[in-house]
Structure formats: C-alpha cells, structure tokens
Structure 1
Amino acid sequence: MHLSVLDLAFIREGGTAAEALANSLDLARHVEAWGYKRFWLAEHHNMTGIASAATSVVIGHIAAGTRTIRVGAGGIMLPNHAPMIIAEQFGTLETLYPGRIDLGLGRAPGTDQATLRALRRSYESAESFPQDVYELQALLAPAGPGQTIRAVPGVGTNVPLWILGSSLFGAKLAAVLGLPYAFASHFAPDALEQALSVYRSEFQPSEQLSKPHAMVAVNVVAADTDAEGVRLATSLQQRFTDMFRGTRGLLPPPIDDIDTYWSAAEKARVSSMMRCSFIGSRDTVASGLEEFNARLQPDELIVASAIFDHAARLRSYEILGEIARQD
C-alpha cells in the first residue's frame, strides 16, 4: 500500500499559524522516515483554520526541511492564477529541489465569491481550466523553436502534473491528457467509483505517464484503541458540521460525545461526507483499508488526518505506516 500525506496545516483552537506550519514540517520529517511517498499541501483562501494559503511558499518550507520525500500541491487551484506564475513558482521549486516536486491542479476556486473578488478572479475562470492546464504544461516543457514566452525557472523542468477532482470532469481530463489523477473522496466521495472507472477506461498514454495512476484521498484517525480514535475524530466531525452551518473556524479539540454537538440531520450529512474515513485502532483501520483497497484498487492513498493534538496526529500516521509495511 503506497501512502502519501495531504496536509492543510490546520490551525487549532488556542494555536497559531506559526505553530501549524512548524507542525507540518515536523510531520513531514516523521512520515519521510516512516516511508511515505509524498507530502502535499492544499490551497485555501480566507479560511482562519488553514495556514497553507501561500501553497508554493509552504511547499518550499517543507522541501527545505526534508531530504527525500516528494513535496507538492494537492492542489493549486489553477483558476486563481495565471499559468505563467505557477510555472515560474514550481519551476523554481523544482530547480531548488530537483526530482521532488509535484504539481496537483484543481478546477474549483477553493473559496467563496467575495474572496474570489479579492483575488481578482471570478467563477468564470474555471471554464478555461483545460486550456490553462495545456498552457502550464507547455511552459514547463522544453522551449520550442521561436518560443518567446518562457518561465524562468520553469522551462524544461517538466514538473509532474496531476489532475485533482471530485467528479467525472477531472477524471475525463486526466485521462485525455494522460496524467495521474487524484480523487478528493476524503470530503466528496459520491462519484469515486464512477470517476475511477472512467479515468481507467479512457486513459491515453502520454510522455509523462504510460498507464493510469489513480490516487484516492481518505481520512484516517488511528489510535491505540477504538475509543480513542473515535474521540479524536470528533474534531473533524465538528469542522464538517460547522461547514454545513455556514461557519468556518479553527480546528476544535475533540469532545467525548459528538451527538451533543450535531443534530440528526447534520449527523447524516457529515457521515455521508466522511464515508471514506477509517477511524479506530490498528486492527480496525487495517481491516477497513484492506476492504477498501480490494474493492477500488487505488495505486496510492493520500491520507488526511485532522487531529487536534500534534502528538496524536503523529501517532496516527505512525500506526498507518506500520499497517502499510505489514502489507
């Protein structure tokens, strides 16, 4: 089982952005030692509980503090940026940390309309996503004859691109372009099986990739006992409940009884949203992942763990790494 990490650099209640970024680096160093393949960070704007908005800057911070693990974006929301800027940023990262940088690309803006205006973008920007991916790919490729616009650094770096998604649109685009595909089932699992089927059946080989490579995002909260795992997972359950209530804030501490926090309707919505989550002891998590992998056969799992206590989050990834090595 090939494992990677998806980190949002959560800012917890009572904590700071500086603490969140320091914890991200500490986590990256640990999972590198435990054999994880990638460490990805996500772009979100105007969210008080997430410290990775300047995603390329944080990637540089993580890459500088590690030695071998691949570091990348999961992802850059391309409608928020000119492809030229992203080519320069990631070309620079690849130049500084050769052979270790990934560039996952998302079509959603990752924020609300008011924040889009602050970014000087609009929802219509997403309509040009396929063309922007082509343009970015060309800017990172070797320069062609007479090419006058070049990303420096960037040109010729061939930073590996990924398409991210939670619908059939991204699956089809990744297949047409012959790029690896990552599905966001850690919060939007509804189209997972259909998207993987479409991606695999329609995949066309490319210079970057000869056969389909599908990575699936899941939530894992592993602990020494089932009861502790269930308790730790209430931080994420509270966050998702707050999203449905229209409020976003810092990562809250776990609580003993989540049923005192959400209504029956909220519980149903959050539970559906978290269907691709594995919570509990080593044996419970291992059993759930074994069934999940046998059914979907992902090439790689990328794991999100919104755990309030940093030591408990490290322990969760440590247990998961042990499970993978036993396989």
Structure 2
Amino acid sequence: MTSPLAATRFSVLDRSRTREGEDGPAALRATVALARDVEALGYHRFWVSEHHGVPGVAGSAPTVLAAAVAAATGVIRVGTGGVMLPNHRPLVVAEQFGVLESLFPGRIDMGLGRSVGFTDGVRRALGRDKEDADDFGAQLDELLGWFLGAEGAAGAGAGRVRARPAEGLRVPPFVLATGDGAAVAAAAGLPLVMGDLRSRERVVAAVERYRADFRPSVWSAEPYVVVAGTVAVAATEEAAARLLVPEAWAMAYSRTRGEFPPLEPPERIEGLAMTDRQREFYASGLRGHVHGTEEQVRDALEAVVEETGADEVLVTTSTYDRAALLDSYARLARAVGLAPPPGDAGAGLTGLTGLTGLTSVNA
C-alpha cells in the first residue's frame, strides 16, 4: 500500500529564535543558513514569521528576511508565515510582495495572518489594538485587489492609484487559520494553513468546514490545506523528546512572567526549580507533539495526513542546539522520502559539519 506521505509536501517555518547568549543578527543569519540546508534536503517551502518586540524572536520584518532567504537559495519556495495584515496597509504589503516576486519569479508565497501584537505595549507601538484584527477579511480583499488591478475589489485602482510592481502578478496567498481564518480562506478561495497538530479534533473540524465552504477563485481552483506543527526526530524517542524541552520552557516562562525568552539548554531547564504553575505549563508544552525515531515519526505523520487530508505539512520546530535541529530536519526528510533538488540549489548542507549518521541523506 502506498503511503499517504508519498503525495504530501513538506516545508519549514523558522521564527529566527535566539539562543541564550546569542544576539538577533546571529539568529537571522542562522535562519538564512537553515534555509539553504533544508533546500538541500528537498523541502518544498521555507517560510519566516513576523513578531514585534519579542526578546526571544529576531524575525520582525518577514518580507525583508524572505528577500535574504530567496537570494541565498535557488529553487525552494520562500514566503511568510505570516505577514500580520492588521499591522500594515494592504497597499504596502502588495508592493513588498510585488518586489519579491519580481526579483524571484515563481518562488514567492504570501502567507497572511491577523495577529496584532504579543502585548499591549507592542500593540500601542504599532498603533493598533485587538479590534483591528476584526477587519482582517476586508484587509485581505483590499490586498488581493491591488494585485488584480481593475479586476479587483476594494482598493484596487482607487483614486487611480496602482500597486507597482504588484499589479498583474500572481503571488500565491495563504491564510493562517487564527480566529475565523478558516472561514475567511474558504470564502476567498485561498489555501489554508492550520495548526497546531496537538489539537487534532479542532484541526479536522476546521478543515472539514473549510473544504465544504470553499469557493473557487482566481487564486485557487480547489481547497489546499497545510497543517503546521512541531516535529522532532532523533536516534531515540528520548532524544527527540529532549529537543522539545527548550521551547516548552520558553512558553511556560512567557505564560508566567509575561516575556518570551531566548532558548536555553535542556540540561539547565531540567534542573530548574519551577513554580507549580510553571511546571503545569511546561508539562503541557511537552505533550502532543510529533516526535520520536524516523519510523515512529513517519507512522505518526501518516496518521495526521490520513485524518486531516492535508496536502502539505509545515514543520515549525525550535530547539536550543542548532546542529540537533538540523539533524532532526535531515532525519525527517529521510523518513518521509524527500529528494534533494537537481543542480546546484542547496549543493551542500552548510550546518551539517561534524554531525554523524547523515551520510545517506542525499543518496
């Protein structure tokens, strides 16, 4: 029997997480290097994210970072997961993606979300409040209209203004399914990005509604579902579980201290004296992720794809040890049967020096 993974695309979202003792510029450079590495492993897309004023995340300007990633790679699709549309004027977003698509034709994705900031202070600095997310559907219509020009809806051609060089280009839009994102994506006829894999019943229900309500559009003739989540692969199940520790602690810390910290080594975290509330959040952060050996992860992902009918899996893993993270992506690529791209794109794995057990990745 053919595995459902044979027809499934696999992609990577990197949030440019900083590590303890590491500054933002180093994290951004590491994101670009990781993009080259996952391209060499055969992943379909590489996306970057938008976060403002978050101490542990350096990725604040996703279209700028996407340009750097696209310039450093050759064939992998590059995009955003996502640009938070309420933080920007739709015209400016259209112009930015128009420039990206013009420079890197056929390789750019436009992932769009509706978040308006991590804290009240960040929202004030952005000149936004939580209610701005309520206009996401209208903002999306305006953004797409700038690409469609005279054929578009609100905004396009208003006062004879035209989005240059975006007008006439077709940069594939994706909607991140926060809030009513699944309904918005279905009504607009756009691909849907759904997470996280731990909330399987919620994901399946939302995907079913999306498919049932989907209206074909100039952007997509059929529903397209990307499921996103953490996937950690190592030589043993225990080693894979340890990869989850730094991010689980960062989430627990943020929930109890109000600040999202850089990633710390797992051995330090495991020796911390946590409060009861911190330990509760920490334990929750470790549960439900897809992790294990290559065989265990392959079986788990087959179940995910069978349950959700996903067309694509977007992996969002973070851990302290960058070499171990890249090892996880390499093992995942091998487990699901990814093939390296032909030619010079990703001709070498820049971060694999000194790792063991990876000699057959490109075979």
TM-score > 0.5 by shorter chain: yes
Change (3 A) 1:326 1:162: closer
1:242-281 counterparts in 2 under 5 A? 242-245=253-256, 246-255=258-267, 258=270, 262=274, 266-270=278-282, 272=284, 277-281=289-293
For residue 318 of structure 2, what is the amino acid of its counterpart?
A
Contact 1:177 / 1:204 at 8 angstroms: preserved in 2? yes
Distance 2:208 2:287 in 1: 19
1:170 is aligned, of 168, 171, 181, to: 181
Find the residue that maps to 1:132 and give its secondary structure: helix
Who is 1:56 aligned against? 63
Who is 1:318 aligned against? 330
Who is 2:161 aligned against? 149
Change (3 A) 1:95 1:6: same
Distance 1:174 1:236 in 2: 29
1:225-244 counterparts in 2 under 5 A? 225-244=236-255
Deviates more, 1:47-56 or 1:252-261: 252-261
Identity of aligned residues (%): 36
Find the residue that maps to 1:150 and give its secondary structure: coil
Change (3 A) 1:70 1:140: same
Q: Deviations over 1:99-158 (max 9, x none)?
A: 111111111213222111111222222121111100000111244599311111211112
1:89-238 counterparts in 2 under 5 A? 89-143=96-150, 147=157, 148-167=160-179, 169-185=180-196, 191-238=202-249
1:74 is aligned, of 67, 73, 81, to: 81
Within the alignment, does 1:294 sit opposite 2:306 as a pair?
Answer: yes
Distance 2:217 2:205 in 1: 22
Change (3 A) 1:319 1:251: same
Superposed CA RMSD in Å reads 2.3
Who is 1:309 aligned against? 321
Distance 2:21 2:338 in 1: 37
For residue 324 of structure 1, what is the amino acid of its counterpart?
V
Who is 1:5 aligned against? 12
Distance 1:140 1:129 in 2: 17
Distance 1:43 1:302 in 2: 16
Who is 2:351 aligned against? none
Distance 2:124 2:105 in 1: 35
Q: CA deviation at 1:264?
A: 5.8
For residue 209 of structure 2, what is the amino acid of its counterpart?
V
Q: CA deviation at 1:280?
A: 2.3
Unaligned runs of 5+ in 2: 1-7, 340-363
Within the alignment, does 1:18 sit opposite 2:25 as a pair?
Answer: yes
Distance 1:101 1:214 in 2: 18
Distance 1:267 1:54 in 2: 33
Deviates more, 1:315-324 or 1:285-294: 285-294
Query: Larger Rg: 1 or 2?
Result: 2
Distance 2:201 2:284 in 1: 9
Contact 2:233 / 2:240 at 8 angstroms: preserved in 1? yes
Deviates more, 1:251-260 or 1:215-224: 251-260
For residue 299 of structure 1, what is the amino acid of its counterpart?
D
Contact 1:238 / 1:261 at 8 angstroms: preserved in 2? no
Q: CA deviation at 1:234?
A: 0.6
Contact 2:43 / 2:333 at 8 angstroms: preserved in 1? yes
Change (3 A) 1:188 1:289: closer
Find the residue that maps to 2:112 and give its secondary structure: strand
Find the residue that maps to 2:11 and give its secondary structure: strand
Instruction: Compute the TM-score of the two structures, normalised by the length of structure 2.
Output: 0.84
State the number of aligned residues.
Answer: 326
For residue 333 of structure 2, what is the amino acid of its counterpart?
G
Change (3 A) 1:215 1:273: farther
Distance 2:292 2:277 in 1: 24
